[in-house]
Amino acid sequence: MFSGIVTDVGHVRAAEEAAAGGMRLEIGTAYDTADIALGASVACSGPCLTVTDKGPGWFAVDVSGETASRTTLGDWRAGTRVNLERALGLGDEIGGHLVTGHIDGVGLVEKAEPEGDSLRLSVHCPAELARFVASKGSVALDGVSLTVNEVEGAVFGINLIPHTLAQTTLDDCAAGRRLNLEVDLIARYLARLLPER
Protein backbone atom coordinates (compact mmCIF):
# COMPACT_ATOMS: atom_id res chain seq x y z
CA MET A 1 0.00 0.00 0.00
CA PHE A 2 1.17 3.50 -0.84
CA SER A 3 0.04 7.08 -0.29
CA GLY A 4 0.86 8.69 -3.64
CA ILE A 5 3.56 10.90 -2.10
CA VAL A 6 6.64 10.59 -4.31
CA THR A 7 9.88 10.33 -2.31
CA ASP A 8 12.40 10.08 -5.15
CA VAL A 9 12.54 10.66 -8.89
CA GLY A 10 14.67 7.87 -10.30
CA HIS A 11 15.49 6.92 -13.86
CA VAL A 12 15.59 3.79 -15.97
CA ARG A 13 19.22 2.66 -16.27
CA ALA A 14 18.43 -0.31 -18.49
CA ALA A 15 15.33 -1.88 -20.05
CA GLU A 16 15.54 -5.42 -21.42
CA GLU A 17 12.82 -7.42 -23.13
CA ALA A 18 11.78 -10.64 -21.39
CA ALA A 19 9.55 -13.60 -22.26
CA ALA A 20 5.84 -13.22 -23.00
CA GLY A 21 6.05 -9.48 -23.66
CA GLY A 22 7.54 -8.68 -20.27
CA MET A 23 10.65 -6.72 -19.42
CA ARG A 24 13.36 -6.29 -16.81
CA LEU A 25 14.05 -2.75 -15.66
CA GLU A 26 17.01 -1.41 -13.71
CA ILE A 27 16.10 1.81 -11.95
CA GLY A 28 18.62 4.30 -10.60
CA THR A 29 17.61 5.88 -7.32
CA ALA A 30 18.79 8.08 -4.47
CA TYR A 31 17.32 5.58 -1.99
CA ASP A 32 19.77 3.70 0.22
CA THR A 33 19.25 0.38 -1.50
CA ALA A 34 20.95 -1.45 1.39
CA ASP A 35 17.65 -0.80 3.23
CA ILE A 36 15.50 -2.27 0.45
CA ALA A 37 14.94 -6.01 0.79
CA LEU A 38 14.69 -8.29 -2.21
CA GLY A 39 10.97 -8.92 -2.62
CA ALA A 40 10.05 -5.44 -1.37
CA SER A 41 7.39 -3.45 -3.19
CA VAL A 42 8.18 -0.09 -4.80
CA ALA A 43 5.67 2.02 -6.74
CA CYS A 44 7.31 2.99 -10.03
CA SER A 45 5.30 5.83 -11.61
CA GLY A 46 2.20 4.10 -10.29
CA PRO A 47 2.54 0.32 -10.70
CA CYS A 48 3.59 -1.64 -7.62
CA LEU A 49 6.64 -3.67 -8.64
CA THR A 50 8.75 -6.24 -6.77
CA VAL A 51 12.47 -5.68 -6.25
CA THR A 52 14.29 -8.68 -7.74
CA ASP A 53 17.91 -7.46 -7.66
CA LYS A 54 19.80 -4.42 -6.40
CA GLY A 55 23.12 -2.73 -6.00
CA PRO A 56 24.38 0.63 -4.71
CA GLY A 57 22.11 3.31 -6.18
CA TRP A 58 19.90 0.97 -8.23
CA PHE A 59 17.33 -1.81 -8.04
CA ALA A 60 15.78 -4.11 -10.64
CA VAL A 61 12.18 -5.16 -11.20
CA ASP A 62 10.52 -7.64 -13.53
CA VAL A 63 7.48 -6.37 -15.44
CA SER A 64 4.94 -8.90 -16.72
CA GLY A 65 3.56 -8.69 -20.23
CA GLU A 66 0.16 -7.82 -18.72
CA THR A 67 1.60 -4.84 -16.82
CA ALA A 68 3.67 -3.68 -19.81
CA SER A 69 0.60 -3.74 -22.08
CA ARG A 70 -1.85 -2.09 -19.66
CA THR A 71 0.39 0.74 -18.40
CA THR A 72 2.97 3.11 -19.86
CA LEU A 73 5.85 0.84 -18.76
CA GLY A 74 6.01 -0.86 -22.16
CA ASP A 75 7.26 2.50 -23.54
CA TRP A 76 10.04 2.97 -20.99
CA ARG A 77 13.62 3.15 -22.20
CA ALA A 78 16.99 4.03 -20.65
CA GLY A 79 16.72 7.57 -19.32
CA THR A 80 12.96 7.55 -18.63
CA ARG A 81 12.31 9.41 -15.36
CA VAL A 82 10.33 7.46 -12.76
CA ASN A 83 8.31 8.60 -9.71
CA LEU A 84 9.27 6.32 -6.82
CA GLU A 85 7.55 5.55 -3.53
CA ARG A 86 8.44 2.79 -1.11
CA ALA A 87 5.61 0.81 0.48
CA LEU A 88 4.01 2.22 3.62
CA GLY A 89 4.76 0.65 6.98
CA LEU A 90 2.18 0.30 9.72
CA GLY A 91 1.90 3.64 11.48
CA ASP A 92 3.27 5.70 8.57
CA GLU A 93 1.54 8.97 7.78
CA ILE A 94 -0.74 8.83 4.75
CA GLY A 95 -0.10 12.25 3.27
CA GLY A 96 -1.99 11.63 0.03
CA HIS A 97 -4.66 8.91 -0.17
CA LEU A 98 -4.68 5.12 -0.12
CA VAL A 99 -3.00 3.95 -3.32
CA THR A 100 -2.61 0.25 -4.16
CA GLY A 101 -0.24 0.44 -7.12
CA HIS A 102 -2.76 -1.50 -9.24
CA ILE A 103 -3.24 0.58 -12.38
CA ASP A 104 -6.79 0.83 -13.72
CA GLY A 105 -5.96 2.34 -17.09
CA VAL A 106 -3.97 4.95 -18.97
CA GLY A 107 -5.11 8.56 -19.04
CA LEU A 108 -4.25 10.95 -21.87
CA VAL A 109 -3.40 14.61 -21.27
CA GLU A 110 -5.65 16.67 -23.56
CA LYS A 111 -4.47 20.09 -22.39
CA ALA A 112 -1.65 21.40 -20.18
CA GLU A 113 -1.82 25.12 -19.51
CA PRO A 114 0.08 27.33 -17.04
CA GLU A 115 -2.14 28.85 -14.36
CA GLY A 116 -0.04 31.21 -12.26
CA ASP A 117 2.82 29.12 -10.84
CA SER A 118 0.79 25.94 -11.32
CA LEU A 119 0.05 23.74 -14.32
CA ARG A 120 -3.56 22.93 -15.16
CA LEU A 121 -4.20 19.55 -16.81
CA SER A 122 -7.25 18.19 -18.59
CA VAL A 123 -6.98 14.40 -18.62
CA HIS A 124 -9.13 12.01 -20.65
CA CYS A 125 -9.66 8.69 -18.90
CA PRO A 126 -10.95 5.45 -20.41
CA ALA A 127 -14.75 5.65 -20.59
CA GLU A 128 -15.23 2.64 -18.30
CA LEU A 129 -13.33 4.45 -15.51
CA ALA A 130 -15.15 7.80 -15.73
CA ARG A 131 -17.76 6.82 -13.13
CA PHE A 132 -14.99 6.32 -10.54
CA VAL A 133 -13.67 9.88 -10.87
CA ALA A 134 -15.45 12.57 -8.84
CA SER A 135 -14.96 16.29 -8.34
CA LYS A 136 -12.89 16.88 -5.17
CA GLY A 137 -12.11 13.16 -5.07
CA SER A 138 -8.67 11.59 -5.46
CA VAL A 139 -6.82 9.92 -8.31
CA ALA A 140 -3.22 8.83 -8.71
CA LEU A 141 -1.47 9.82 -11.96
CA ASP A 142 1.94 8.22 -12.52
CA GLY A 143 1.88 7.36 -8.81
CA VAL A 144 1.16 10.92 -7.61
CA SER A 145 -1.85 11.50 -5.33
CA LEU A 146 -3.92 14.35 -6.78
CA THR A 147 -7.25 16.05 -6.14
CA VAL A 148 -9.74 16.22 -8.99
CA ASN A 149 -10.98 19.77 -9.59
CA GLU A 150 -13.87 19.03 -11.95
CA VAL A 151 -15.22 16.27 -14.16
CA GLU A 152 -17.00 16.53 -17.50
CA GLY A 153 -17.81 13.14 -18.99
CA ALA A 154 -14.55 11.20 -19.28
CA VAL A 155 -12.36 14.30 -18.89
CA PHE A 156 -11.23 15.59 -15.51
CA GLY A 157 -9.19 18.59 -14.41
CA ILE A 158 -6.13 18.58 -12.16
CA ASN A 159 -4.04 21.47 -10.84
CA LEU A 160 -0.34 20.72 -10.31
CA ILE A 161 1.11 23.07 -7.70
CA PRO A 162 4.78 24.17 -7.83
CA HIS A 163 5.83 21.62 -5.17
CA THR A 164 4.36 18.74 -7.17
CA LEU A 165 6.02 20.02 -10.34
CA ALA A 166 9.39 20.23 -8.57
CA GLN A 167 9.21 16.83 -6.85
CA THR A 168 7.76 14.56 -9.57
CA THR A 169 8.00 13.75 -13.26
CA LEU A 170 4.78 15.67 -13.94
CA ASP A 171 6.75 18.88 -14.53
CA ASP A 172 6.99 18.17 -18.25
CA CYS A 173 3.35 17.24 -18.88
CA ALA A 174 2.09 18.30 -22.29
CA ALA A 175 -0.85 17.39 -24.50
CA GLY A 176 -0.54 13.80 -25.70
CA ARG A 177 1.31 12.48 -22.68
CA ARG A 178 0.04 9.14 -21.38
CA LEU A 179 -0.24 8.70 -17.59
CA ASN A 180 -0.79 5.63 -15.44
CA LEU A 181 -4.17 6.12 -13.77
CA GLU A 182 -5.38 4.56 -10.54
CA VAL A 183 -8.87 5.55 -9.42
CA ASP A 184 -9.76 5.98 -5.77
CA LEU A 185 -9.85 2.67 -3.91
CA ILE A 186 -13.03 3.55 -2.02
CA ALA A 187 -14.84 4.62 -5.22
CA ARG A 188 -13.90 1.32 -6.84
CA TYR A 189 -15.38 -0.77 -4.02
CA LEU A 190 -18.47 1.40 -3.61
CA ALA A 191 -19.22 0.98 -7.30
CA ARG A 192 -18.84 -2.78 -6.93
CA LEU A 193 -21.29 -2.89 -4.02
CA LEU A 194 -23.93 -0.58 -5.50
CA PRO A 195 -26.16 -1.54 -8.44
CA GLU A 196 -25.07 0.00 -11.74
CA ARG A 197 -27.30 2.78 -13.03
Q: What is the pLDDT of residue 93?
A: 81
Q: What is the mean pLDDT of each run of 10 residues along the chain (197 residues)?
A: 96 94 96 97 98 98 96 97 94 86 97 97 96 94 98 97 98 97 86 70
What stretch(es) of the chain map to CATH 2.40.30.20? 8-86, 105-193
Reported residue count of the chain is: 197
Q: Which of 191, 186, 39 is nearest to 99 (CA)?
A: 186
CB atoms within 10 A of CB 111: 14
Q: What is the pLDDT of residue 117?
A: 96
**Cα 74 to chain center, whole Å?**
14
Indicate the CATH number for domain 105-193.
2.40.30.20
Q: What is the pLDDT of residue 59?
A: 98
The number of CA neighbours under 13 Å toward the Cβ of 139 is 33
Cα–Cα dist 22/39, whole Å: 18
Cα–Cα dist 174/165, whole Å: 13
Indicate the CATH number for domain 8-86.
2.40.30.20
Cα–Cα dist 94/118, whole Å: 24
Q: What is the pLDDT of residue 177?
A: 98
Instruction: Quote the pTM value.
Output: 0.94
Q: Which of 62, 32, 56, 57 is nearest to 44 (CA)?
A: 62
Find all residues with CB under 8 Å of 122, minimum gap 6, and list them: 109, 110, 111, 112, 155, 156, 157
**Cα 45 to chain center, whole Å?**
4
Cα–Cα dist 83/75, whole Å: 15
Q: What is the pLDDT of residue 29?
A: 98
